[in-house]
């Protein structure tokens, strides 16, 4: 009965889904639209020109990314509270991997995003480096950001794997989402380890993680917002009232 009383409220689950939706929107805008349109792989000159001509958009991409990572801290805590009654240790480890992935690694990695603009817009750089050198340095910083993003994705993939296990062990959400999150976990891990160890297939790995994350994370997010949780969980919750 003690664990029953510790069950998260439906309101908290819906709030978690709402915050998750905001994270998806913010991160999707930053990675998919801002960097996806401004960064031209292998072309430092065009990338530098795009950044300088769209300085406000580039800065906004950093801001929305940071907002997403700040919200992810809250989501990590909420997910721990939701699944703690079913497996406290697993819930804690799962949330820890999520905290390390984006709030920690992702936030620190934004320095590379910021400095890519800084080296292009700082007048003092022109006395030490030529324009071409500054452009190459900016491109290198964005490449470092990309690989930092992949490292964070590895941690997030483990989080998705553990979250899938928690869904299977509990009755909070339909087990279907456990399977979908296993696919999302595989997508993130394939992208991270594949891009580092077998370069040249970045387009395929990005497609894999995009589809897998859309099915798993987006699907679970909308379920949390619209349904909240399963009927059996609601019945169990009522026993605690």
Look at residue 76 in the predicted model and tell me its pLDDT. 98
Q: What is the largest CA-CA distance in the chain?
A: 72
All structural domains of the chain with their residue ranges: 2-146+215-239
Q: How far is CA 215 from CA 32, 53, 63, 165, 223, in A?
A: 17, 35, 26, 17, 12
- Which tens digits make up the pLDDT trace of 162-191? 999 999 999 899 999 999 999 999 999 999
pLDDT at 1 over 60: no
Whether residue 203 contacts residue 142, with contact meaning beta carbons closer than 8 Å, is answered with no
- Which tens digits make up the pLDDT trace of 88-145? 999 999 999 999 999 999 999 999 999 999 999 765 565 677 888 889 999 999 999 9
How far is residue 223's CA from residue 215's CA, in Å, rounded to a whole number? 12
Average pLDDT over residues 57-81: 97
Nearest CA among 144, 152, 184 for reference residue 65: 152
Look at residue 203 in the predicted model and tell me its pLDDT. 86
The reported pTM is: 0.91
Higher pLDDT pick, 233 / 173: 173
8-state DSSP, 217: I
How far is residue 233's CA from residue 127's CA, in Å, rounded to a whole number? 65
Higher pLDDT pick, 231 / 15: 15
Whether residue 158 contacts residue 184, with contact meaning beta carbons closer than 8 Å, is answered with no
pLDDT at 2 over 60: no
């Amino acid at each position: 009965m003690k664990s029953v009383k510790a069950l998260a409220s439906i309101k908290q689950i819906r709030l978690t889904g709402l915050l998750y939706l905001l994270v998806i929107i913010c991160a999707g805008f930053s990675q998919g639209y801002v960097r996806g349109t401004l960064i031209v792989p292998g072309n430092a000159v065009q990338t530098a020109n795009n950044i300088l001509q769209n300085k406000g958009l580039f800065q906004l991409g950093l801001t929305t990314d940071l907002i997403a990572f700040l919200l992810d801290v809250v989501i990590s805590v909420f997910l721990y509270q939701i699944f703690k009654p079913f497996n406290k240790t697993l819930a804690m480890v799962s949330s820890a991997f999520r905290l390390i992935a984006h709030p920690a690694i992702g936030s620190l990695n934004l320095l590379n995003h910021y400095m890519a603009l800084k080296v292009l817009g700082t007048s003092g750089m022109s006395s030490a480096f030529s324009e071409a050198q500054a452009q190459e340095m900016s491109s290198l910083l964005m490449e470092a950001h990309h690989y930092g993003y992949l490292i964070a994705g590895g941690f997030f993939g483990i989080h998705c794997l553990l979250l899938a296990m928690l869904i299977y062990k509990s009755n909070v959400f339909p087990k279907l989402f456990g399977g979908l999150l296993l696919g999302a976990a595989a997508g993130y891990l394939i992208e991270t380890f594949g891009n580092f160890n077998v370069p040249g297939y970045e387009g395929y790995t990005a497609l894999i993680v995009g589809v897998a994350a859309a099915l798993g994370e987006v699907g679970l997010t909308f379920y949390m917002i619209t349904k909240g949780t399963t009927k059996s969980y609601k019945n169990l919750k009522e026993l605690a009232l």
